[in-house]
Amino acid sequence: MEGKPRPAASPAQALTAMDQLIALSLVSQQDIAQRLGLGVTDLTCLGHILGAGEQPITAGDLADRANLTSGAVTGVLNRLERAGYAHRAADPADRRRVRIVADESAAARLYAVYEPFYLRMNELFADYTSDEVAVLADWFTRATALMGTRLDELRTTGQA
């Protein structure tokens, strides 16, 4: 498949478009979290728990993925358990270790909210060649790493 013609864009225009996407994403995540009876951080963590699939993650893994402290993750897990989205379970290979497992209904509740958007996103990706999608995936991966680096810098320096 040959790529469709795309309008020219400068880095400044791309940054503006990215800022608009991030801003709308933040508002959207807040709205979705409220509808599910969660906070945004809890929703983010639930996404990581569900994303782990058949290999449940530890609280430490969750803290790393969500860029949270272990104390913050403990609070998140307590709230997710109270809300019926996830629970702690002993690791069958090492009973001293605890894994975080999503409740079956949690996945269904999240998929009901996110599936229409993901279907539309897949339709959007279908407008791009596989090479263009590879560039998008690379850009998102690298931009995520840059954002993580900046978050670490802000936390280290205490800048506002």
Residue 97 confidence (pLDDT): 84
Amino acid at 43: L
Residue 55 confidence (pLDDT): 87
What pTM did the predictor assign? 0.85
CA gap 85, 110 in Å, rounded:
10
Neighbours of 12 (CB within 10 A): 8
Local structure of residue 90 (DSSP, 8 states): E
Neighbours of 77 (CB within 10 A): 21
Residue 4 confidence (pLDDT): 83
Residue 119 confidence (pLDDT): 97
* Three-state secondary structure call for residue 40: helix
Write out the two tokens for 55. Answer: 């290999």
Residue 92 confidence (pLDDT): 83
* Three-state secondary structure call for residue 10: coil
Local structure of residue 158 (DSSP, 8 states): -
Residue 1 confidence (pLDDT): 57
Give the residue ranges of the chain where pLDDT is below 50: none
Sheet with 94-102: strands ordered across: 57-58, 94-102, 86-91
